[in-house]
Amino acid sequence: MSERPPGLLLTFLGIGIALLYLPMLVMIGYSFNASPLVGIWGGFSGQWYRELVQNAQLMSAAWLSLRIAFLAATAAMVLGTLAAIALVRFQVFRGRFLLTAMVNAPLVMPEIITGITQLLLLISMLHLFGWPHRGMFTIVLAHVTFCTAYVTITVQSRLASADRSLEEAAMDLGAGPVRAFIDTTLPIITPALASSWLLSFTLSLDDLVISSFVSGPGASTLPMIIFSKVKLGVSPDVNALATLVIGVVGVGVVIAGMLMRRADQQRQRDLQLAAQ
Amino acid sequence: MVFFLVPFGFALAISFAETAIRVPPYTDVLSIDHHHLHLLLKADNYRYLLTDPVYVLSYLYSLKTAFFSTLICLAIGYPMAYAIARTSRGTQTLLLLVIILPFWTSFLLRVYALEGIIREHGLLNQALLWLGLIHQPLKLMHTAAVVCISIVYSYLPFMVLPLFATLEKLDRSLLEAAADLGSPPWRAFLDVTLPLSMPGVIAGSMLVFIPAIGEFVIPTLLGGADNLMIGRVLWDEFFGNRDWPVASAVAVVFLVLLVGPIALYQHYQRKDLEVAA
């Protein structure tokens, strides 16, 4: 499949990509607009960025969101990997069906339902044990729940394609099971771990609906603040914020793409060497 | 054993979060002193859902919106995925990155970006006015069309990626064989490409349909008073009216009627695939 696709298809592709990017480009443009009114160009200005940095509410929400995302992504990576190992390595065990169902449930559930059910659980836990009070901790907990599902799926597919015999060879050479796993399988699934961590981090950072349900007084994440600002009308500093987000993500994705490409080329070379 | 028990224990705890709560009697824990009262009330909540047309209408409206959005996504996403699948490998990686990049940025911010274009004094109206195509700014905000458009805009990557995955694996020699046997290209497409890409079509449609049907952000920010989607009704019931039992009932019905069948279907389809493999 490597010939030039027909013009019509390329046109469609071009239009589709333009549609995806046009709104973002417009927003980046507005973020430098001196006029606070949408649609009126008042000259180039960086004032919204200054206001953004000076907006203590937005800044503390951003810091809170980053901390939540970091904790949730890290915990989800560990739990999801363990679940993936259980699913791939132990083909038959009691509760396998339950575990599979639980892993998949958050993926097929609209987030508003996940949010409601999580909140009801937290409330009843509070009722029964007097713990946990709603706040940052409960948001992390809820995020771990749905991020774990994504991690499990990602790591599971990678783990399934990893060669088990390497680990067996290590064990024949006298390594304990944990040691064998760390030395052979872990390096193989590391790319999957990294990408699932990043995915979890982004999902957590972006989540509005579930956070709104499980959050308590005083714990407003960045999306919650943005949402309430946007609902009230135009806020140019949100444009500036969005531009920063797009910039960071853009740079990150380009770097990831380059790394992926290099790893791909490296693998090709290794394969060629192996074939010789 | 550790690898098996630890995640299982955690997942078990999580499962209680998600299954137990869906069951209505669970909410009676909320008001521990009124056990019996609450259980009685529960049935009333469901009856209430049927008597108030808001709920039925918003269910239907969500269904309709999600259906059309998915259809449009498919119509735009299929040619895009097909075009990407037919480029060289290096270009493919690049184009996929281009498709995925918006997904990594914030969903909320993207909806907001779209709002900047379609609002009354937004770019679209200005462009159309400037071109002389219209004389009054179009009132696009708070319409059903805009809700649909922004769902398509937000979830298009979800459609393109699984479609690409199946189309890329497609064996080109089958198309050549069809051509050798005298099939015109459109016929070969209908007979070979389309059926073989069905798994991608279904996967992509699910990935768009399910979040679309429970969508809350888009109808709230861009939709009007008459674009009541079930996600928004749920939210209002919960945060606005503070009527948690009714909100839970809405959620349960939502799950049973709309998401349950889809999830079951997906489960059995995967089983079929495993059997076939």
Predicted ipTM? 0.80
User: Measured between CB atoms, does A254 come within 8 Å of chain B?
Assistant: yes
The CATH number assigned to the domain with range B41-276 reads: 1.10.3720.10
Q: How far is CA A183 from the centre of its chain?
A: 27
* CA proximity to A195, closest of A251, A252, A110: A252
Is residue B21 over pLDDT 90? no
Contact criterion met (CB < 8 Å) for B156 and A19: yes
Neighbours of A270 (CB within 10 A): 10
Tokens of B94: 């690049």
User: Measured between CB atoms, does A91 come within 8 Å of chain B?
Assistant: no
Residues of A in contact with B16 (CB under 8 A): 121
Spatial CB neighbours of B96, under 8 Å, sequence gap ≥ 6: B84, B161, B164
The CATH number assigned to the domain with range A55-235 reads: 1.10.3720.10
| Alpha-carbon distances, residue B68 vs A110, A274, B149 (angstroms) | 18, 51, 10
> From the candidates A113, A235, A245, A253, which should be mutated to test the interface with B, based on the most B CB atoms within 10 A?
A113
User: Measured between CB atoms, does B189 come within 8 Å of chain A?
Assistant: no
Query: For A124, which of B10, B29, B160 is closest by C-beta distance?
Result: B29
CA-based nearest distance A62→chain B, Å: 13
Q: Compute the distance between CA of residue A67 and CA of residue A72 in angstroms, rounded to an integer.
A: 8
- In this predicted structure, what is the pLDDT of residue B3? 45
CA-based nearest distance A5→chain B, Å: 6
Contact criterion met (CB < 8 Å) for A103 and B206: no
Residues of A in contact with B7 (CB under 8 A): 79, 82-83, 85-86, 99
Residues of A in contact with B165 (CB under 8 A): none
Mean pLDDT of A209-223: 85
- In this predicted structure, what is the pLDDT of residue A94? 66
Q: Compute the distance between CA of residue A218 and CA of residue A11 in angstroms, rounded to an integer.
A: 49
Confidence class for position B67, pLDDT limits 50, 70, 90: very high
Q: Can you state the angle between helices B107-118 and A7-31, rounded to 10 degrees? A: 90
* Domain spans in chain A, listed from the N-terminal domain onward: 55-235
The predicted-structure confidence for A49-74, as pLDDT tens digits, reads as follows 888 888 888 888 889 999 999 999 99
- In this predicted structure, what is the pLDDT of residue A93? 65
Strand partners, A276: none
The predicted-structure confidence for A93-124, as pLDDT tens digits, reads as follows 666 766 776 677 777 778 888 888 778 777 77
CA-based nearest distance A227→chain B, Å: 7
- In this predicted structure, what is the pLDDT of residue A5? 61
Residue matched to tokens 């639980």: A102
* Domain spans in chain B, listed from the N-terminal domain onward: 41-276
Query: For A257, which of B32, B93, B217 is closest by C-beta distance?
Result: B93
Is residue A267 over pLDDT 90? no
